[in-house]
Each structure stands twice: as C-alpha cells, then as structure tokens.
Amino acid sequence: MALKTEQMVLNMGPQHPSTHGVLRLEVELEGEIIQSVHPHIGYLHRCFEKHAEAMTYPQVIPYVDRMDYLASMYNEFGYVIAVEKLLGIQVPERVDYIRVIMGELQRIASHLVAIGTYGLDIGAFTPFLYCFRDRERILSLFEMTCGARLLYNYIWVGGLSHDLHPDFVRSAKDFVNYFRPNIKELNDLLTYNRIFIDRTANIGVLPLETAINYGITGPNLRASGFKWDIRKDDTYSIYNKFDFDIPTGQGLVGTVGDCWDRYYIRVLEMEQSLRIIEQALDRLPEGDVTSAIPKRIKPPAGQIYSRVENPKGELGYFIISDGSLNPFRVKVRGPSFVHLGVMNELCKGHMVADVIAILGSIDIVLGEVDR
Amino acid sequence: MKTPEEVFNILKEKFGDAVVELAASQPVDPYIVVNPKEVDKICQYLFDNEELSFNNLMNLSGVDDSNGKVIAGQNGDKTIEGGTLSVYYHIESTKHKHKIVIKASTPRENPEVNSVESIWRHADWHEREAYDLVGIIFLNHPNLTRILMPYDWDAGHPLRKDYKNPEFYHGMKVPY
Amino acid sequence: MIYQFFYTITGSYLIADIIQSILPLFIFILPFALFAVWLERKVSAHMQDRLGPMRVGFHGALQTIADILKLIQKEDIVATENDKPLFNIAPVLVFVGTYAAFAVIPFSSAYIGSNIDLGIFFIVAVSGFVVAGILMAGWSSNNKYSLLGAMRSAAQIISYEIPTVLVIITIIMVTGTLNLNTLSEMQTGHFWNWMIFGGPQLGISKFLLIPFMIVGFVIIYISTLAEVNRTPFDIPEAESELVSGYHTEYSGMKFAMFFLAEYANMFAVSAIVAVLFFGGYQSPVGYLGNLLHLKWLIPIEQLFWFTTKGIFFVFVQMWLRWTLPRLRVDQLMAACWKYLIPLAFVNLIIIGLITLL
C-alpha cells in the first residue's frame, strides 16, 4: 500500500527576516519541492494614489519619496519629469546635471542594499556590512545637500529645493575614487565564491519571452539577455549626453537569466553609474537651480504617461490632469509590483531554500509594491 | 515606427465600430478610444501583427472618470450616478519602438471590460488592482480578487470619487 | 594525578570521584563558553569593519555575563500545544550529549576525567544524544519551521558522522589505540612528532603519511563543522530562512542551554581534532618546566597548550562562519555523500597500505 502524501502549505508570513518587508508568501510544497507560490500583498498599502488626488502637485513630492524608500531621488525624478512634460517647461542645464548625479548616486545606494541583503539571505553575513559601510558615504553626500538621509524632498517641479554645497563636487569625486576598488573587493568576497555560485546559478531562470510578457524591466530584464534601458531607448533628461554601457546577462556561471545573472548585473551597473557620475561632475555648468520653479502649478487638462529607469526597473507615472491645482489621477506603475507577479513562474520546481534566493534576486521593496 | 494616427487608421479599417475615436487634442499623449467588450480582440491583433507587434504592456490603470451627475447627500458626502469608469492601456513595441495609448470606457453602473491577461500576463495584477480600487470587473480573468485591500473589505472601491470610509471594520474604528 | 590529590584531601574515593567529574564543567566549560561568546562577537565585529561590544567591562569583556543574567530572568514560555515532557528534556539532552564528550578528553597529563580504553569510540557514541535532543526539540515545538529544521539537522549530523569515523579509524590504524590519553602521550617531544606530521616513529612511512594525514585533517575538520551546525552548514538554524530552526520556540534558560551546548560542542570537536592530529596537550617546543627543573610546572604548561590549540581551532571555525555563505540542504548532503565519504575511504585505504610498510 503506497504512502499517501499531502501537499503542505508553508506560510512565510508577514513577519520574516528575509521577505524584505511585510510580504506574505503562501508556498505549496510537496516534500521539499515547490508546487506554487502565491504572494499576498497589501500590508503596507498607504493609499498614495488617493492622497495624491487631495493635494497640489508640489505637495505630492514627499509622498512620492515614500514609495520606494530606498531610491527616493529616483521616485521624485520620475514624478517631476512627468509634471514638467505636462506643463511644457524646460529646466536650466545645471538642474539636469545635478538630477542625474543624484539619481546615479541613488542607483548605487539602492544596488548596495540589494547586494548586501542578498548575501545576507544566502548566509554570508560580512558583505552586508561592507555594502552598508559604503552606502553610508553616499547618504552623507545626500545629507550634505538637502539635510535628509533617506527621504529627501529635494527634486521639485521646475528645479531643486537647494543648490549644491560648495564641498559637494570634491566629496563626490573622493567617493568615486574610494568606491571603485571596493567593487573588486565585493567580487572577490561574494560574486565568485563557490558556495554562492552553487546557491544562485541555474536557479530561477527567467526566459526572455516570459520576461517581456510579464512586464519585467530593469536589471531583471537585462539579466535575461535583452539590452533594454530606458535611459538609452526612451531617453529623458540629459542621459543622451553621457557615455555608458548597458550590461546584459550572459550566463557566465550558469544559464542566462538565473539569479546569479540578476545579481551580477547590479554589480556591473554600479560601475557604469560611477562612470556617469564622473562625467557629470566634470561638466557641471553654473546656473540657478530655483529660477524655473513656477509659483503655481496648474497644468492644462490632459494626461501623460512618462517613465524613468528606477534602480529596480521601469518606474512609470500616469498623471491625468483636469486643469485644477490638484491632479485628477496619479497612477504609479512600480517595478516591484510587477516583478512580484512573476514569482510563481520562477519558483516552480525549486526547493524552499530557493524561494529566498529568488525573492532576493528580483529585488523588491514593499513600499513600492503596495504604495 | 508608426504614429498614433497610422495605428488608429489600421485599427479602424480592421475593426470598424469597435474603435471609436482618436483623441489627440489634449496634451500630451493621444489615445484611441475602443469598445470595452472588444478590447481583447483589438489587443490580440496589436500583439500579433508583424508591423505593429506591441509586445510590451507598460501600464494598465483604472480611472474613475467622475463625469456623471453628482448628487449631494447629507453630511457633505456625494454620490455620482451615471458616467463612466475607464481603463487605460499603455502599450509599446520593443522591436519597433513605438507606443500607443488605448482607452476603454464602461458605464459606471455595470462596469465590465474584457481581460487582456491572456495576451500579456503582466495585466494579471494590474487588473486585480483596478478591480480592487476602482471596481471594474474584468471578464475572463483567472483570479479576480482584491489585491491591496483586505480580502473581505466590503465597503466599496476606495479610488472612486464618491467613496466613503466605513465606520467599523471587524470591530475596529476606521476613521482615526 | 588530580584524582590522587583530591583523594588525599578528602579521604574518600566517592567524594574525590564526584569533585573530579564536575571539575571540568565549572572550571573549564562554563568560563570557556562565556569567553567564546565574547570572542565570537569580537571576531565577527572586526571582520565586518566594526567594533562589537565595547561598554560592558574592558572592551566588552563582561558582556556575556550581562547576557546570561538577562536570560535567567526571562519568562519561560511554553506554548499549550507543546509536548511538555519532550519540550523540557530536549535542551538537557543536547547539553548532556556535548558535555559527556569532555569526560575522556585529556586536558593535561595530570587530569583526565575518565581514562577508559575506549576514548574516541565513547565520544562518537555519546554524540548520538545530540541528535535525539534536536529531534525532540523540533517535534515538541509544534511548529512547521522547527520540525523542518530539526529533521534537516538530524540528517546532517548523522551523515557527517561517517567521514568523521572514517578519519578516526585511520588514526587508530596508525597508532593502534583508542585511548586518548595514550594518544597524547605518544605525540611527545617536539612538533614533528605530532600525528599530522606522520607520528612519532621515524622512518619512511612517517614521510609518506604526511600528505594523507593533512587530507584526513581537512576531512575531519569539515565534518565536525557540520556536526556542530556551524556555517557553512548551519541550515538547521538558518536565521534568514527558518527563523532559528529547531530552537525557535525556546526562551530564557532553555535557550541559554542550547546556546551553551553549541559553544561547548565547538570546543569539544576542536579539542578532539587537536588531540588526534596536533599533539593534544603536548607543547611544540619543549617545556619550561624541564628547563627550570620544576616538575609541577609541566602539567600547567600542558593545560595552557591544550587550551591554546582548542581556542585556535574555535577561532578558525568562527572565521569560516563570517566569511562563507551557507550551503543548501541538498548540496550539503551531496558534499558529504559524494565527496567527503569517497575521499575518506580512499584515504583510509592508502594509509592502511602505508602502515603495512
């Protein structure tokens, strides 16, 4: 008589050290093999879109910060570009350069968190602290500029809230020189570590067609081998003036599109961001950053969908304006929301320990998933 | 690369009355208004056609158009009768690098739109969110349940313009 | 020698026996556990570019005592669904399994808990208590996570006992004795008489043995890492996956016992490796006591050398923990069955052939 086995439902509950926030994963297991994964979200839903309808356009910016709280500069960047396109105003060149510098510094900070916590999930405790030590230097650069370390309210419609501190350019150049060799140290410690490769190569392979169909963008899409970057393919601000490469996944230690590729793309992107920052710092023009900020922001009735390349993927803002001071509808297409939808597809057939590896590699932030 | 006018003409030829109009007068994005019950066929055509090949759904949003009659109730709250709820689809082609916006409007009292989940799996969660927050029902969706609000929230759809918070939820007082 | 000392003081075999057997617990294991916790926190901190405990005592030396005081006064939570007898016995069993191994380890030539001829065999046998304790802890917690953690831990410990035993057999073949005291005495003299350098007999077989002894040492070190559930083999207590594994539901004093047992176990296996391969309590360079003609100094020096070797291997274990990520459970099993066991077998055969020379 054969033993009847049942499927076990394991609940990786809202409180869990590895789910990067309050996320509930309902995992159906057959022994140790996963049959399906259902994410349950909504624990961090703060009704951003409803709030945005009750406030004026500049008042929305602090709220926008708090969605993807690890990459606040980019959230503001995306929103501000959408409103400026709707208004049809141009910003001074200095403002564009500073926005790019802040955005790329923010990209490095966000990737450092992603890499550090990914190592922590796999069990390597030390790279996490090295990454956060480097991130501290970036946060002190931000603090020097606008006074805040995590949620800035710095990029405003038509300009910036403060000009750069006189020491900023020198400190930022120091940081770039300090950080470059640290990437090599990180590679030695974690990226090419045999055990790390065993845990992440050939796990959670995302084929390219599936990726595009599920709306995956950003480093996850590039890791599947497709060279698609909104900074180059649908360019915004002044990114077309800079010279940088788009790294794609090549399956160096496993298949194209596995967890190791998604992790390695982030390491490579940090290097490219350093290049952009260097070029921008060298060519920073003079100017007044607050001159183009309008007194009252009252866009004409219409709608726009504009997108930027968040560190996590494509961040899109769909703003409908009805001609008044408050937006009629602001819909945020957050990359983490979309990426979480592909978890079920990625996890089928793997083991429980791999759920953590896969979840860490797609790099979600619950603030953006739930808004 | 095709302009929105060209896409509109191709669709109008193929689908006739299902494609209603091209609204291009307002800033910034022009959009094509289509019949909500034919939206999946139109999107399937956009996906399959070689010259168009819109293989990437960027965004799908539900909007409360709030264009019906506003009835002021007591306590300063309002209800809206009539009017429409809309779904906006932002799609693009990674091959040809063109984009288009499609809008499908349904009556507020009986909002039903065909689901495009079978074409782009991306639409799955976005449609659930549109159902949850605006109340649009997507036909043929595999799992149309609430996604951001609690599963047993029965007090309506929060992003509607005439939504009012309930007094109590499971014995907890809702307004602060 | 210590036994005689106590006998002369108290005049009764029974009391001397009792004092001698609780001696290692209070004089050695408990202070060592306190020291090891502090050492772990300092080692991990300095490797992670930070400082670790600095305020309580000089450079945080009294931190562990503060932690123990805190743990003692915590509420002892026992959920209603738990299987109470099993729940309460499990930490005791785990602790007993590790503590009993100390009975046959020679700390110095003057003191050995119990000089039985079955030394190593006794240690391997008594480590089985730990498995039973862990399974009990996982089951009685009434928690899916704990059960998963406990089962993985049991599978891991049982599998990794095999390479351990195989390497122990090679040592037995070379030296011909199971008794740890005799083994330590055989490695007397200078460090080239240690087992890892081929043993005390000078001859062609000594030099032939050296590479295989090194391989054997690496195998047993890795296997004992897995036995004590340290990274990279710490799946059972993987914090980021199973929230703490089989001791998730324990609090207060019982949790402290698991904790203590882990550090005692770490020292026990380090001591075993030191005794088997690195000369036990023998000094690598000769004794100060011999130089100064003070006979009573020698056992104290031997205790010092023994402790140093043990702490060094514990330090290497901590170093590995904070550097390497952890292996997944099937990779862990594959590492044992597909790599370590065949390697240990081949090693055994070759060393056996060499001893025939």
Which of A65-69, A156-160, C102-106 shows the lowest per-residue confidence on average (mean pLDDT)?
Answer: C102-106
Q: Which two tokens stand for residue A208?
A: 């390219």
Write the single-letter amino acid at C232.
P
Distance CA A329, CA A50 (A): 8
Whether the Cβ atoms of residue A264 and residue A131 lie closer than 8 Å to each other: no
Distance from CA of A277 to the nearest CA of C (A): 27
Of A18, A126, A133, the CB nearest to C323: A126
CB contact under 8 A, C241 and A193: no
Instruction: State the pLDDT confidence band at C344, using cuts at 50, 70 and 90.
Output: very high
Q: Which two tokens stand for residue C249?
A: 């539901």
Residue A274 has pLDDT above 70, yes or no: yes
* Residues of chain B contacting A233 with CB distance shorter than 8 Å: 97
CA distances from A8 to A11, C87, C240 (A): 10, 24, 20
Task: Give me the DSSP letters along A212-266.
Answer: HHTT--THHHHHTT----HHHHS--TTGGGS---------SSS-TTSHHHHHHHH
CA distances from C70 to A61, A326, B157, C76, C244 (A): 46, 55, 50, 12, 20
CA distances from C183 to A164, A368, C98, C168, C299 (A): 72, 64, 21, 12, 16
Residue A166 has pLDDT above 60, yes or no: yes
Distance from CA of A251 to the nearest CA of B (A): 22
Res C240: pLDDT: 45
Give percent of chain A with pLDDT exceeding 90: 16
Distance CA A204, CA A346 (A): 5
Give percent of chain B with pLDDT exceeding 70: 99
Determine if residue C203 is left, alpha or beta; phi over 0 gives left, psi from -120 to 50 gives alpha, anything else beta. left
Distance CA C309, CA A345 (A): 51
Over range C68-92, report the average pLDDT.
78
Q: Give me the sign of the Cα torsion angle B52, B55, B59, B62.
A: positive
* Closest Cα in chain C to A191: C325
Of A50, A85, A299, the CB nearest to B159: A50
Instruction: State the pLDDT confidence band at B107, using cuts at 50, 70 and 90.
Output: confident
Whether the Cβ atoms of residue A18 and residue A360 lie closer than 8 Å to each other: yes
Tell me yes or no: is domain B4-114 CATH 3.30.460.80: yes
Backbone angles phi and psi of A245, in degrees to 5: -95, 160
Task: Give me the DSSP letters along C176-238.
Answer: ----HHHHHHHT-SSGGGSGGGT-SS-SHHHHHHHHHHHHHHHHHHHHHHHHTT-TTS-GGG-
Q: Hey, how many other C-beta atoms are within 10 angstroms of the C-beta on C260?
A: 23
Contact present, C and B (at least 3 Cβ pairs less than 8 Å): no
Strand partners, A37: A27
The model's pLDDT over C120-163, given as tens digits with 9 standing for 90+, comes to: 888 888 888 888 888 888 888 777 767 777 787 888 888 898 99
Distance CA B141, CA B147 (A): 14
Interface membership of A130 toward C (CB under 8 Å): yes
The model's pLDDT over A280-326, given as tens digits with 9 standing for 90+, comes to: 999 888 888 888 888 888 888 888 899 899 999 899 999 998 888 88
Give a yes or no: residue A34 inside a domain.
Answer: no
Of C234, C322, C331, the CB nearest to A126: C322
Distance CA C125, CA C100 (A): 10
Interface membership of A54 toward B (CB under 8 Å): no
Res C248: pLDDT: 65
Interface membership of C49 toward A (CB under 8 Å): yes
* Residues of chain A contacting C331 with CB distance shorter than 8 Å: 198-199
Of A10, A32, A195, the CB nearest to C327: A195
CA distances from A41 to A16, A285, B146 (A): 14, 45, 10
Strand partners, B72: B78
* Closest Cα in chain A to C143: A10
DSSP summary character for residue A351: B
- C-alpha closest to that of A287 among A144, A173, A159, A102: A159
Angle at C234 between CA C228 and CA C237, to 5 degrees: 100
Distance CA A161, CA A54 (A): 22
Q: Which domain holds residue A197?
A: 50-370
CB neighbour burial string for C132-165, b if at least 16 within 10 angstroms, e if fewer: ebbbbbbbbbebebbbbbbbbbbbbbebbbbbbe
ipTM score assigned to the predicted complex: 0.90
CB contact under 8 A, C47 and A126: yes
Distance CA C210, CA C192 (A): 11
Residue A19 has pLDDT above 80, yes or no: no
Q: Long-range contacts: B127-135, Cβ < 8 Å, 24+?
A: B127/B60, B129/B62, B130/B60, B130/B61, B130/B62, B130/B87, B131/B62, B132/B157, B133/A49, B133/B62, B133/B157, B133/B158, B133/B159, B134/B62, B134/B63, B134/B64, B134/B85, B134/B159, B134/B160, B135/B62, B135/B85, B135/B111, B135/B160
Distance CA B57, CA A341 (A): 14
Choose from C40, C46, C48, C339 for mutation: most chain A CBs within 10 A.
C48
Give percent of chain C with pLDDT exceeding 90: 6
Give a yes or no: residue A8 inside a domain.
Answer: no
Residues constituting chain A: 371
Distance from CA of C79 to the nearest CA of A (A): 19
Residue C346 has pLDDT above 90, yes or no: yes
Strand partners, A332: A317
Distance from CA of A353 to the nearest CA of C (A): 7
Using CB atoms, which chains have 3+ pairs under 8 A with B?
A: A
Res A357: pLDDT: 85
Task: Give me the DSSP letters along A179-223.
Answer: HHHHHHHHIIIIIT-HHHHHHHTTSS---HHHHHHTT--THHHHH
Res A18: pLDDT: 63
Distance CA C98, CA C121 (A): 14
Give a yes or no: residue A38 inside a domain.
Answer: no
Give a yes or no: residue A3 inside a domain.
Answer: no
CB contact under 8 A, A18 and C240: yes
* Residues of chain C contacting A198 with CB distance shorter than 8 Å: 327-328, 331
Instruction: State the pLDDT confidence band at C75, using cuts at 50, 70 and 90.
Output: confident
* Residues of chain C contacting A356 with CB distance shorter than 8 Å: 240-241
Which of A87-101, A162-176, C185-199, C304-318 shows the lowest per-residue confidence on average (mean pLDDT)?
Answer: C185-199
Give a yes or no: residue A7 inside a domain.
Answer: no
Give a yes or no: residue A120 inside a domain.
Answer: yes
CB contact under 8 A, C329 and A32: yes
Distance CA A248, CA A258 (A): 12
Interface membership of A181 toward B (CB under 8 Å): no
Q: Total domain count for chain A? A: 1
CB contact under 8 A, C323 and A189: yes
Q: Hey, how many other C-beta atoms are within 10 angstroms of the C-beta on B166?
A: 12
* CB proximity list for B48: less than 8 A, separation 6 or greater: none
Average pLDDT for chain B: 84
Interface membership of A228 toward B (CB under 8 Å): yes
Q: Is the peptide bond before B28 cis (omega within 30 degrees of 0)?
A: yes
The model's pLDDT over C30-60, given as tens digits with 9 standing for 90+, comes to: 788 888 888 888 888 888 888 888 888 888 8
- C-alpha closest to that of C211 among C247, C266, C170, C267: C170
The model's pLDDT over A320-351, given as tens digits with 9 standing for 90+, comes to: 988 888 899 999 998 999 898 888 888 888 88
The model's pLDDT over B52-81, given as tens digits with 9 standing for 90+, comes to: 888 888 889 888 887 878 887 777 677 877
* Residues of chain B contacting A320 with CB distance shorter than 8 Å: 63
Give a yes or no: residue A35 inside a domain.
Answer: no
Higher pLDDT, C296 or C158: C158
Res A111: pLDDT: 92
User: Which CATH number fits the domain that encloses residue A208?
Assistant: 1.10.645.10
Q: Which two tokens stand for residue C114?
A: 């119990």
Whether the Cβ atoms of residue A194 and residue A295 lie closer than 8 Å to each other: no
Largest CA distance in chain C: 66
Res C102: pLDDT: 83
- C-alpha closest to that of C272 among C151, C111, C106, C116: C106
CB contact under 8 A, A124 and C323: yes
Of C44, C240, C328, the CB nearest to A17: C240
Average pLDDT for chain C: 81
Using CB atoms within 10 Å of the CB of residue C62, give its burial: 0 to 12 exposed, 13 to 18 middle, 19+ buried: middle
Q: Hey, how many other C-beta atoms are within 10 angstroms of the C-beta on A194?
A: 10
The model's pLDDT over B21-64, given as tens digits with 9 standing for 90+, comes to: 777 777 778 888 888 888 888 888 888 888 888 888 888 988 88
- C-alpha closest to that of C101 among C194, C5, C25, C213: C25
Interface membership of A333 toward B (CB under 8 Å): yes
Tell the residue number behind the tokens 């994963």, with chain if given: A25
Res C99: pLDDT: 82
Whether the Cβ atoms of residue B28 and residue A304 lie closer than 8 Å to each other: yes
DSSP summary character for residue C59: G
The model's pLDDT over A90-133, given as tens digits with 9 standing for 90+, comes to: 888 899 999 999 999 999 999 999 998 888 888 788 888 889 99
Distance from CA of C328 to the nearest CA of A (A): 7
Residues 131-150 of C with CB under 8 A from A: 144, 148
3-state secondary structure of A47: coil
A-C C-beta contacts closer than 8 Å? 73
Tell the residue number behind the tokens 């309580």, with chain if given: C56
Using CB atoms, which chains have 3+ pairs under 8 A with A?
A: B, C
Instruction: State the pLDDT confidence band at C343, using cuts at 50, 70 and 90.
Output: very high
Whether the Cβ atoms of residue B63 and residue A329 lie closer than 8 Å to each other: yes
Give a yes or no: residue A350 inside a domain.
Answer: yes
* CB proximity list for A349: less than 8 A, separation 6 or greater: A33, A34
CA distances from B145 to A138, B137, C330 (A): 42, 10, 37
Interface membership of C334 toward A (CB under 8 Å): no
Residue A2 has pLDDT above 70, yes or no: no
Tell the residue number behind the tokens 């349904």, with chain if given: B106
